[in-house]
Chains A and B, each alone.
Chain A
């Protein structure tokens, strides 16, 4: 027992070092903008750039919209596949894996080729280009979102819950919104976290669609400055975690673990 505890702790510590050391290194570096003293000069310089807030705000908004689009698209699909078309599951899984195989650069060139000329010229203005951007993000985050949702759906007896709701008079929208969504909330949250992280860090799509997102801004900064990018990396890391924490707090009612004990065992 004690031996197992020792090894478990060893691996946890090794893992923590692997992840934390670069972060600590970056943090220490970001404090050295002024010679021979530790200061937050790089931070104040980075913050004073209005482009930072703008680009992060833009990316966060895009992330939020991507999450909404993904949920609307993927939850009903995964639900229907599980309920009525279980034979299609392998096909759907294959489709959701395609973004892993097709690089983002291919996706974005495809989007630009098709949507930059009539009849579907969407790259002409910022609003419609944002639509393209969100569509691209939705595709990129699909493997994560689908898997999260699918796992959540498998953990509950959706068939019987659906039938129970139907017999009580519920139609499909009511079932999805009032019965399915709340019962896979943890899965939806984890899908949302992953989507958020992907969108904040995504460089290629935003770059080629020429949208003022956070990752291209950071990339530009890295080329021109030394300390500010390190500071911003730390800040974006912290902000991402704050966002995740907020979603977590907002999404908290009872934990799903409590709810796992329903139904016969």
Chain B
């Protein structure tokens, strides 16, 4: 039974449809990310779950209870904001205990809970400080503790790492996941950062222009994108314009070179199609599958763990990622090389 149910949620602002027929069922303890470019409706959807916006149509149920039009302060939902939103006039302890104080919790219980929360986020002894005395990362951890102190039934995170440095972002990312799993709390995480969504989530909802493009595990989303938008938004993607040669055998032709796709195609022979390829599926040499292309190396960027190579194919360029290792012979710009990839790496879509 789903813990959080969003059914046919639609939100219009005047003539603009911000969210269009959004459906989601999340299980208890699940970590779901809303991923998409800015303006895709992910934050609006989150705000409707929080109660800050009212849906134009549809229903929101949490734990079997219809909360579609419940006030935000009646939902028992913890929320973490991009801008931390700590109360500047209160100490860290005051911030974390705020929700409990409102609920009329006895003072000793509040103190105990605050200490528990500070231990959970690894910031004990920070209770007496004021927000302005903390770094951004610390403030966001306090904000997380504040949201969790009230034992919410649902945790909402609205781009919580966007305002932080890259290094702190990474640390806090795993911290959020650890705490979420430790508490077993259901969480919705809004982000435009695909790496965050892929690394954190049990499931990802990819959104574009107010609509859900695909819902799936990070593995499914990355490896088996169902729409062109998902394919191009999540991860890098190469595109080749090909023609179907033998649909039954799954054979295409690209600039008079034959490419095998490994499976029958649903297109008629001679139809123009587009092939998508991930950069990490390409390899130098001819030992990595049936498909080979002759390319000229255009640029080589050393990124540390990977080396990104730009290949020229005449009318198009391909991106390719090579895993770094100490014995790697760095390819040189200007060289001509054979690049190969397996048939199953090809994702064929009709030419639009």
Query: Which A residues are within 8 Å of any B CB, using their own CB?
Result: 156-157, 160-161, 163-171, 174, 178-179, 182-183, 185, 254, 258-264
* Given contacts A168-B102, A169-B76, A170-B102, A182 and B89 within 8 Å (CB-CB): yes
Which one, B9-17, B28-36, B78-86, B212-220, is touching chain A? Answer: B78-86
Are B131 and A170 in contact, CB atoms less than 8 angstroms apart? no
| Residue picked from B73, B88, B99, B136, most chain A C-beta under 10 Å | B88
Which chain A positions have C-beta within 8 A of B76? 169
Are B139 and A262 in contact, CB atoms less than 8 angstroms apart? yes
CA distance A258 to B75 in the complex (A): 34
B52 at the interface (CB under 8 A from A): yes
Q: How many residues of B contact A (CB 8 A)?
A: 35
B236 at the interface (CB under 8 A from A): no
CA distance A182 to B77 in the complex (A): 25
Are B89 and A259 in contact, CB atoms less than 8 angstroms apart? yes
Are A164 and B79 in contact, CB atoms less than 8 angstroms apart? yes
Closest to B152 in A: A167
Distance in Å: Cβ of B351 to nearest Cβ of chain A: 44
Within 8 A of A (CB), among B59-101: 71-73, 75-79, 81-89, 98-99
Distance in Å: Cβ of B154 to nearest Cβ of chain A: 10
CA distance A150 to B14 in the complex (A): 28
Closest to B150 in A: A168
Are A169 and B83 in contact, CB atoms less than 8 angstroms apart? no
B103 at the interface (CB under 8 A from A): yes
B40 at the interface (CB under 8 A from A): no
Closest to A168 in B: B99
| Contact pick for B98, options A165, A254, A258, A261, CB 8 Å | A165
B318 at the interface (CB under 8 A from A): no
Are B73 and A170 in contact, CB atoms less than 8 angstroms apart? yes
Distance in Å: Cβ of A180 to nearest Cβ of chain B: 10
B254 at the interface (CB under 8 A from A): no
Are B83 and A261 in contact, CB atoms less than 8 angstroms apart? no
CA distance A258 to B89 in the complex (A): 10
Distance in Å: Cβ of A31 to nearest Cβ of chain B: 46
Are A183 and B83 in contact, CB atoms less than 8 angstroms apart? no
Are A259 and B130 in contact, CB atoms less than 8 angstroms apart? yes
CA distance A164 to B87 in the complex (A): 9
Are B81 and A164 in contact, CB atoms less than 8 angstroms apart? yes
Question: Binding site of A, secondary structure by majority: helix, strand, loop or mixed?
Answer: helix
Which chain A positions have C-beta within 8 A of B87? 161, 164-165, 178-179, 183
B283 at the interface (CB under 8 A from A): no
Distance in Å: Cβ of B184 to nearest Cβ of chain A: 20
A-B contact pairs, 19 of them (CB 8 A): A160-B85, A163-B85, A165-B98, A166-B51, A166-B52, A167-B78, A168-B99, A168-B147, A169-B76, A170-B98, A170-B102, A171-B73, A178-B87, A179-B89, A258-B130, A262-B130, A263-B84, A264-B83, A264-B84
Within 8 A of A (CB), among B8-61: 50-52
CA distance A101 to B63 in the complex (A): 58
Distance in Å: Cβ of B27 to nearest Cβ of chain A: 22
Closest to A161 in B: B85
* Given contacts A161-B85, A164-B81, A264 and B136 within 8 Å (CB-CB): yes
Are A262 and B131 in contact, CB atoms less than 8 angstroms apart? yes
Closest to A256 in B: B88
Closest to B72 in A: A166
B308 at the interface (CB under 8 A from A): no
* Given contacts A262-B132, A263-B83, A167 and B73 within 8 Å (CB-CB): yes
9 closest Cβ pairs, A-B complex = A168-B99, A182-B89, A264-B163, A261-B132, A164-B85, A167-B79, A166-B72, A259-B88, A262-B131
Which chain A positions have C-beta within 8 A of B75? 167
Closest to A261 in B: B132
CA distance A188 to B84 in the complex (A): 25
Which chain B positions have C-beta within 8 A of A179? 87, 89
CA distance A172 to B191 in the complex (A): 30
CA distance A167 to B73 in the complex (A): 5
Which chain B positions have C-beta within 8 A of A183? 87-89
Which chain A positions have C-beta within 8 A of B83? 157, 160, 263-264
Which chain A positions have C-beta within 8 A of B51? 166
Which chain A positions have C-beta within 8 A of B130? 254, 258-259, 262
Within 8 A of A (CB), among B100-136: 102-103, 130-132, 136
Are B146 and A168 in contact, CB atoms less than 8 angstroms apart? yes
Are A157 and B85 in contact, CB atoms less than 8 angstroms apart? yes
Distance in Å: Cβ of B291 to nearest Cβ of chain A: 48
Which chain B positions have C-beta within 8 A of A259? 88-89, 130-132
- Contacts A174-B102, A259-B131 aside, 7 further interface pairs with beta carbons under 8 A come to A160-B81, A167-B156, A168-B73, A169-B73, A258-B130, A262-B130, A264-B163
